[in-house]
Structures are given as C-alpha cells and as structure tokens.
Amino acid sequence: MKTDDVKELLYNNLEHPRWDDVAARCLACGNCTLVCPTCFCTTVEDVTDLTGNQTERRRKLDSCFTMDFSYVHGGGSVRSTHKARYRQWMTHKLATWWDQFGTSGCVGCGRCITWCPVAIDITEEVRAIRGEKG
Ligand code: SF4
Ligand code: SF4
C-alpha cells in the first residue's frame, strides 16, 4: 500500500462514495479490530456480587464497530451507520494515528484482511479512494 500521502488522501475524501460501497459489504462484526495489533479501544464494566459486598470495575477490550462504543448519554450513538464506523476505523489507522502518535496505526500485518468474513481489504479500499482499479 502506498502510504506517504494516505493521511491527506483520507482527510480530503471523507465524503467519497467508496465509503457507501464498503458499508454495503461490512457486517460491523468487529473482527478487524479484535485482530489488529494496534487497536486498543476499551470500555468499562461494573460488576457486583449477589451479596452486594463486592464491586469491581473491569476494563474490557471494545470495538469502534459496536453501536455502544460511540453512544453518548441522551444523544444516541454518534456513529450509527456502518459507513461511519468503517470510515472511523480506517481513517484512525491510516490518518489520525499520525496526528495522535506521529506514526501509522497500521503495521501492514494483513490480519484484518485475513479475518474479515466478507473479504474487505484495507489496501483495496485505499486504492479505490485513490481512484485506482483493484
Ligand atoms: S493490516 Fe494494519 S489495520 Fe490491518 S490488522 Fe494489520 S495493522 Fe491493523
Ligand atoms: S472484519 Fe470486515 S466485516 Fe467485520 S467489521 Fe471489519 S471490515 Fe467489517
């Protein structure tokens, strides 16, 4: 994948029709986020035992592909569509990671491609947004 300009490519194409295309195929299953070595998003879960004597707050791995992940109290889910969630995920990997951490959020391992049940390929999606044939 050509990466030197990919951050600007994605920032300049947030309304590209390819996001609708990939959203029609994506199941929002979250497999790609669970196998990606750089995905780190979490949620918290409060648990009490039956006696009420012990309470724990646990941090659990979460995924930006779930509805609950972007739920804002009283306002619903900020990213309610598959389009919004896939765009969030791919743009975070390849663009906003540069702003946050000074490096790419993609190490090129290919796990998200291997484990996607509908064969969505991040490299193919970038090529499509570039206007190149797959
Ligand atoms: S190819 Fe990139 S986005 Fe996909 S799992 Fe590997 S590091 Fe994550
Ligand atoms: S693994 Fe594939 S189908 Fe599942 S959320 Fe990721 S891109 Fe969508």
Task: Calculate mean pLDDT across residues 93-104.
Answer: 97
pTM for this entry: 0.91
Where does the pLDDT of residue 75 fall: very low under 50, low under 70, confident under 90, or very high at 90 and above? confident
Question: What is the whole-number distance in angstroms between the Cα of residue 120 and the centre of ligand 2?
Answer: 7
From 122, 124, 125, give the residue whose CB has the most ligand 1 atoms within 8 Å, as the site to mutate. 122
Domain boundaries, the chain: 6-39+79-130
Q: Is 38 in the pocket of ligand 1 (CB under 6 A)?
A: yes
Q: Which ligand is the nearest neighbour of the Cα of 113?
A: 1
List pLDDT tens digits, range 50-73: 998 999 999 999 999 999 999 999
- The CA distance from 99 to 101, in Å, is 6
From the list 42, 96, 46, 35, the residue with the least C-alpha distance to 64 is: 42
